[in-house]
Amino acid sequence: MTQSVVVQVGQCGNQVGCRFWDLALREHAAVNKKGMYDEALSSFFRNVDTRSGDNGPDIYKGKICSLKARALLIDMEEGVVNEILQGPLRDVFDSKQLITDVSGSGNNWAVGHKIYGCQYRENIVEKLRKTAEHCDSLQCFFIIHSMGGGTGSGLGTFVLNLLEEEFPEVYRFVTSVYPSGEDDVITSPYNSVLAMKELNEHADCVLPIENESLFEIVNKIHQMINSGKLGSTVKQNSLVTSSAGSAKTQVKPFDAMNNIVANLLLNLTSSARFEGSLNMDLNEISMNLVPFPRLHYLVSSLTPLYTLADVNVPSRRLDQMFSDAFSRDHQLIQADPKHSLYLACALLVRGNVQVSDLRRNIERLKPSLQFVSWNQEGWKTGLCSVPPVGHSHSLLALANNTCVKPTFIELKDRFMKLYKKKAHLHHYLQIDGMEQSCFSEAVSSLSDLIEEYNELDATKGGPRVDPSRLKIAV
Amino acid sequence: MSIVTVQLGQCGNQIGHEVFSALCSDIRGTHGLCSKKENESYQDSCKERFFCEEESGVPVARAVLVDMEPKVISQTLSMAARSGHWKYSNHSHFCQKQGSGNNWANGYSVHGPRHKEAIMNLVQKEAEKCERLGGFLTIMSMAGGTGSGLGAFVTQCLRDAFPTSFILNHVVWPYGTGEVIVQNYNSVLTLSHLYHSSDALLVHENDVIHKICAQLMNIKQISFRDVNQVIAHQLGSVFQPAHTAGGGSGYSRNPLGIDWQVRPPHPGLHPLHKKPLHFNTSIANLVILRGKDVHSADLGSFQDPSLYTSWLNPQDAFNAWKTPRAFNKYEKSAALVSNSQFLLKPLDSIVGKAWNMFASKAYLHQYTKFGIQEEDFLDCFTTLEQVISSYTNL
C-alpha cells in the first residue's frame, strides 16, 4: 500500500487540515478495534516509538505506540499553528513538521510566493525530504490552501512548484478554497488569478471549494434539525459538518464548514486506505478524470449530509443517495453541471453497496446528464467496503464538467476590474521578482483555460458525427 | 501434460483462484458417474495438468500470481490455503505497492521491463516442475492497467522464452457501460498486442456473465464473486480432461490441442457466398460432452454447413471431445468453444468507442508520458480493423 503526505499552508489550509487529521483519527478509531498499526493507518500516519522521546524510530507492525501525521504545517503567522499545537491534536504533529513565521503575508500573493518562498525554500525541501523518507512508497501530496490570501495562495503555490521539481513522480492533488464575490480581502482576485496559473501548470488535480456552498450546506442542516422535520433524532456524528466523537471539544465558527472539506478528503482517499471489491486508487482518479492536462478541475459533491438514527436503509434511500450526488445542494462549489457538459465522472461509493446497485443508478441518471461526444459512457466507479463514521453507505461524486467555466470567468472579471485601474498593483510590483508580466501571463493562462472549456461547450448538443473508421484493404 | 497458469492483476487473480477451486472440487469426492478406473485416470490427468504434488499431500496449483499491488494476492493466497484442499506455492507470487493506475502504458512499458526478470524466473521455476509442459494459460482483464498492459508484456516474454509452447490467453471484457473510463483504449492496446504473441484468446464478457447470473441463475444482488464463479465453472468444463477424437482411450495429452490457427484462403480465389444470417459464421467449433450417454449423443446439427464459412469443410471445422466422467456432479453437461463471428459486435463497439476518443486525443497524454505514442495507437487500431474485416468476410 502507498502513503500520502498532507501539506497545509496558511490560515485556511491549516484550519481545514486540522479538521482532516481529527476526523481521520476518528475514522480509523471506529474501524481499528484492536489498536494494531495496519496498512490503512500507514497511509496517513506513522507509528513512532516515543518511549525515548520524539525522535524514536518508526514501528511498522504491531501495536500502535504514537501516531504521527504525515504532514507539513506551513504558516507565516503563528496563531493557527500554535493553537493546533496546544490543542488536543498536539501529539499528532512533530515539531520538525512545522514552518512558521510571525508577520504573515499581508494578503499578498507576491509576499507569499516570492519573499517567503525564497526565504524558506531550503527549509521546506529538507522537511519534505524527511517526510518522504518515512514513506515506503509515497504516492501523493495533498495541498490544502485558500486562493484569496497571501500565504496559502502565494507560498502554497510555491510549494506546489517545489513538489513538482523535487518529487516529479508523486501526484499533486490540491484542495483550493476560492474566494466569493463579497470576499473582504480586496486583492483576492489578484491572489487567486496569480495562484490559478500555478495550479494550471503544476497540479495533477484540483478540487475547488467555495465558501458559499459550504455555508449553504451548514444552513441546510441547521434548518433540517430545527424544523423538526426529521422526526427521530439525527445521529450527531453522521453530520458532514460535525466534530462529534473527535478530539475537538470547543466549537469554532468555521469548524462546520471545514469539517465538510475534511470529509471530502477522507472519502477521496477511502478506497486507497480501506479494502473493497473495486478499488479506486488515487492514480486511477487522475488517470480517468483528466482527459487533457490542464482540464483537471473537479467538481465534488458529498452525500449523505446526515443519517437519521434509524438504521434500516431500503434501496429507495440508496437510490436517493445517487440522485442527491447530482443535485446542487450537495456540491462544494456553486456550479450547474446538469446544464453543462460532462467530460468524465467518478463515483466513489462506500459501505454496503453492490455492483448491481451502481449499474442500476448509472442507467437511471445517465439520460439527464450530457456527456461529451467522445466519452458517452465515461464513468469511473469504485466500491470501498468501509463506510464513513455514522453512516452505512456514502457517495462522493467527482465530475470533470465545463460548469466550472462561469466560476473562472467571474474570477477573471473581478481581476480585470482591479487591474484596469491598476488598483493596489504597487503592493505587488514593489516585491522583488514581480513584474507586470506576471499579471499578464497569469490572466492569459486563465483566459486560455476558459477558452478550452468554451471549445468543449461548443460541441454540446450538436449532431453527433462519429469520425470515420480506418479502412482496411481486404 | 501440464499447464502453467499466470494470473495477472486483480481480475486475473480473483478468477484464477475460483478456477483452481472449481477444478479441485470437481476431482474430489464422488466417482463421477463412471467406472473407478475411468475416474482415477481422470483425476490423475487433471492433477498432472494443474497441480503439483507436495510432500504434505496437499495439491499445489501450477500457477504464478502477479499484481502491482499487494491486497488481492494476499487475499487469494489465504483463501486458497484456508480451503485445506489445495493451495498456491508460497514462492510463486510477485507484487509491488503502487498499482498501474488503469494505465496500459504503465503496465506494459514501465512495470513490464522493470519486473521482467523476477516474473519470468517464477514462470521458469514452475515450467521446470512440469515433466511435460503443455503450454501456458494467462488470466487477465483488458480494461485495467496491470492485467491488460503487464499481461500483454508477459505474454510476449512467454513467447520469446518458450517459442514452441502453446499460449492461451483468457481475457475478460469489461461491462459496456464502463467500469473504467479509458477501458476502450486499454482493450484495443491489449488485444492488438496479444495478437502477435498468443495462440488463442478465450473470451468472457462481463455483460454476458451478468445476464447469466440475473436471468438464468436468478441472483438478486450480483457481486463480482458471482460473476467469477460462473466464469470458473465454464473454464473448468473446458479444461478438465476429456477424450479427444483421435486420442484413443487415454485422456488427451495436450489439453489445448485443438489447432486454433486457421488461415483463410487468399481473397479472390473463393467467391463469397451470401448466406442466410441466422448464426454467426464459424471457423471452428468444439463441443465437450461429459457424463451419461456421451457416446450416443447426436451432434449432427453442429456440422450443418450453414454454420460454417464457405471455404471450410464442416468435418474439418468441428471437433467433439467426450468423457463419461461427469463434471461437477452434473449427470450430463456440455460445453461449446467457438471461433466465430460472435465477438464481432462487441469488438467493433470497443474499437469504435476507442477510435472516437482517439480522434479527440482525449487521455493520450496519460499514455505518451509512459512511452506509448499516437503511432503505436494507430498500429493497434489497424491490427484490430483487420481482425474485424477478416471475421466480417467469413
pLDDT for residue B51 is more than 90: yes
Question: In whole numbers, what is the pLDDT of chain B averaged over residues?
Answer: 88
Asked if A20 and A27 count as a contact pair (C-beta separation under 8 A), the reply is no
User: How far apart, in whole angstroms, are the C-alpha atoms of residue A114 and residue A194?
Assistant: 12
Partner residues linked to B137 by β-bridges: B5, B168
A191: left (phi over 0), alpha (psi -120 to 50) or beta: alpha
pLDDT digits (tens, 9 = 90+) for B291-349: 888 888 888 888 888 888 888 888 888 888 888 888 888 888 888 899 989 889 999 99
Instruction: Quote the CA–CA distance of A207 and A262 in Å, as a whole number.
Output: 12
3-state SS of chain B is: CEEEEEEEHHHHHHHHHHHHHHHHHHHCCCCCCCCHHHHHHHHHHHHHHHEECCCCCCCEECEEEEECCHHHHHHHHHHHHHHCCCECCCCCEEECCCCCCCCHHHHHHHHHHHHHHHHHHHHHHHHHHCCCEEEEEEEEECCCCHHHHHHHHHHHHHHHHCCCCEEEEEEEECCCCCCCCCHHHHHHHHHHHHHHHCCEEEEEEHHHHHHHHHHHCCCCCCCHHHHHHHHHHHHHHHHCCCECCCCCCCCCCCCCCCCCCCCCCCCCCCCCCCCCCCCCCEEEEEEEEEECCHHHCCCHHHHCHHHECCCCCHHHHEEEEEECCCCCCCCEEEEEEEEEHHHHHHHHHHHHHHHHHHHCCCCHHHHHCCCCCHHHHHHHHHHHHHHHHHHHCC
Strands B63-67, B282-291: pairing is: unpaired
Q: Does A458 touch chain B (CB under 8 A)?
A: no
- More confidently predicted of B139 and B54: B139
Q: Do A469 and B352 touch (CB under 8 A)?
A: yes
Question: Residue A401 pairs with which residues in a beta bridge?
Answer: A342
ipTM above 0.90, yes or no: no
Query: Grid coordinates standing for A444?
Result: 492569459
Cβ distance B189 to B250 under 8 Å? no
In A, minimum Cα distance to B68 occurs at: A1
Q: At what angle do helices B183-197 and B151-161 cross, to 10 degrees?
A: 10
In angstroms, what separates the C-alpha of B299 from chain A's closest C-alpha?
Answer: 34
Residue of chain A nearest B221, judged by CA positions: A356
Kindly write down the DSSP assignment for every residue of A78-108, as one continuous string. SHHHHHHHHSTTGGGS-GGGEEE-SS--TT-
Q: What is the mean pLDDT of residues B118-135?
A: 94
The neighbour count for residue A135, using CB atoms within 10 Å, is: 18
User: Higher model confidence: residue B254 or residue A386?
Assistant: A386
Roughly what angle, to the nearest 10 degrees, separates helices B9-27 and B224-239? 50
Distance CA A45, CA A32 (A): 13
For residue A303, give the DSSP letter. Answer: E
C-alpha cell at A372: 461529451
Strands (DSSP E) found in A363-439: 379-384, 393-401
Alpha helices in A274-303 (DSSP H): 282-289
Contact A291 B97 (CB under 8 A): no
Reported as a single tens digit per residue, the pLDDT across A206-258 is: 999 999 899 888 888 888 777 765 555 677 777 787 777 776 656 666 888 89
Q: What is the mean pLDDT of residues B181-199?
A: 95
Q: In this complex, how many residue pairs, one in chain A and one in chain B, have their CB atoms less than 8 Å apart?
A: 116
Q: Which of A278, A281, A359 sits opposite B101 (nearest CB)?
A: A281
Measured CA to CA in angstroms, residue A168 lies from A120, A197, B50, B275 at distances of: 20, 18, 44, 59
User: Is the predicted pLDDT of residue B261 greater than 50, yes or no?
Assistant: no
Those of residues 112-151 in A touching chain B at CB distance below 8 A are 136-137, 139
Strand boundaries in A223-358, DSSP class E: 299-303, 342-351
The list of chain A residues with pLDDT below 70 reads 54, 228-233, 247-253, 307-316, 474
Give yes or no for residue B385 having a pLDDT over 90.
Answer: yes
Cell of B222: 450480483
Please name the helix (run of DSSP H) or strand (run of DSSP E) that holds residue A17, with its range, or none: helix A10-31
Q: How far is A413 from chain B (nearest CA, A)?
A: 30
Chain A residues with beta carbon closer than 8 angstroms to that of B105: none
CA end-to-end distance (rounded Å), chain A: 49
Q: Among partner residues B179, B224, B362, which is closest to A291 by beta-carbon distance?
A: B362
Return d(Cα A174, Cα A31) in angstroms, integer.
Answer: 27
> Could you tell me if A403 and A340 are in contact, meaning their C-beta atoms sit under 8 angstroms apart?
yes
Task: Check CB contact under 8 Å for A290 and B221.
Answer: no
The better pLDDT of the pair B178, B188 is held by: B188
How much of chain A, in percent, has pLDDT values that exceed 90?
A: 63
Look at B357 and A288 and tell me if their CB atoms are within 8 Å. no
Alpha-carbon gap: A278 to the closest alpha carbon of chain B (Å): 9
CB contact under 8 A, B381 and A472: no
Question: pLDDT digits over B222-237, tens only?
Answer: 888 899 999 999 999 9
Interface touch B178/A278, C-beta < 8 Å: no
Q: Quick check: A467 and B221 CB within 8 A?
A: no
Query: What is the model's pLDDT at position A446?
Result: 97
* B-chain residue closest to A294, CA distance: B365
Considering only alpha carbons, which residue of chain B is nearest residue A275?
Answer: B71
Chain A residues touching B355 at Cβ < 8 A: 467, 469-470
Q: Kindly determine whether residue B223 and residue A354, on different chains, have CB atoms separated by under 8 Å.
A: yes
> How far A226 CA sits from the closest chain B CA (Å)?
38
Which chain B positions have a beta carbon within 8 Å of A292's beta carbon? Answer: 361-362, 365
Tens digit of each residue's pLDDT (9 = 90 or more) over A280-336:
889 999 999 999 999 999 999 999 887 655 445 555 678 899 999 999 989 999 999
Element (H, E) at A121: helix A117-133
Q: CA distances (Å), A160 to each of A164, A266, A297, in order?
A: 7, 21, 16
What residue of B is the nearest CA neighbor of A377?
B177
Helices A355-365, A315-325: inter-axial angle, 10-degree rounding = 50
Under the banding of pLDDT at 50, 70 and 90, the label for residue B57 is confident
Q: Check B99 against A466: CB less than 8 A apart.
A: no
Given this model, what pLDDT does residue B251 score?
58
Q: Is A220 touching B (CB cutoff 8 A)?
A: no
Q: What span, in angstroms and rounded, lies between the C-alpha atoms of A21 and A44?
A: 9
Contacts of B98 in chain A (CB under 8 A): 2, 137, 139, 281, 283
Mutation pick from A137, A273, A284, A313 vs chain B, by most beta carbons of B within 10 Å, is A284
Could you list the beta-strand ranges (E) of A117-204.
138-146, 171-178
CB-based contact, A294 to chain B, within 8 Å: no
Name the pairing type of β-strands A66-69 and A45-48: antiparallel
How far apart (Å, rounded) are the C-alpha atoms in residues B43 and B240? 9
Chain A hits for B179, CB-CB cut-off 8 Å, are 278, 379-381
Note whether B194 and B141 are within 8 A (CB). no
CB nearest B223 (choices: A275, A277, A372) = A277
pLDDT on residue B270: 43
Q: Is A278 on the interface with B (CB under 8 A)?
A: yes
Among B10, B181, B184, which would you mutate to test the A interface (most chain A Cβ atoms within 10 Å of its Cβ)?
A: B181
- What does the pLDDT read at residue B258? 45
Could you count the other beta carbons within 10 Å of the beta carbon of residue B167? 21
Residues B382, A470: C-beta atoms closer than 8 Å: yes
Long-range CB contact pairs, B221-227, < 8 A, 24+: B221/A354, B221/A356, B221/A357, B222/A354, B222/A355, B222/A356, B223/A277, B223/A354, B223/A355, B224/A277, B224/A278, B224/A355, B224/B14, B225/B14
Q: What is the three-class DSSP state of A144?
A: strand
Q: Grid coordinates in use for B181?
A: 473510463
B347 contacts on A by Cβ (under 8 Å): none
Whole-number Å distance between alpha carbons of A241 and A213? 13
Specify the DSSP class assigned to residue A75: E
Residue A26 to residue A170: CA distance in whole angstroms:
27
- Give Cβ neighbours of residue A425 (< 8 Å, ≥ 6 apart): A419, A439
For residue A107, give the nearest of A51, A167, A203, A190 by alpha carbon.
Answer: A190
Averaged over B146-167, what is the pLDDT?
96
Which residue in the set B97, B102, B389 is minimally distant from A288, CB to CB?
B102
pLDDT of B99 strictly over 60:
yes
Cβ-based burial of B300 (10 A; exposed 0-12, middle 13-18, buried ≥19): exposed
- Count of positions (residues) in chain B: 394
- CA-nearest residue to B10 within chain A is A278
Nearest-CB residue to A136 (from B97, B224, B355): B97
How many whole angstroms separate alpha carbon B63 and alpha carbon B92? 7
How many Å apart are CA A305 and CA A217, to the nearest integer? 8
Q: What is the pLDDT, as a whole number, of residue B80?
A: 94
**Minimum Cα–Cα distance from A286: chain B residue:** B101
List phi, psi (to 5°) of B61: -60, 140
Chain B residue numbers with beta carbons less than 8 Å from the beta carbon of A362 are 177
Which of A204, A274, A287, A460 should we substitute to test contact with B (largest number of B Cβ atoms within 10 Å)? A287
Q: Which residues of B touch A (CB under 8 A)?
A: 10, 69-71, 97-99, 101-103, 145, 175-182, 220-224, 267, 351-353, 355-357, 359-363, 365-366, 381-382, 385-386, 389, 393
Give the residue on B whose Cα is nearest the Cα of A466.
Answer: B356
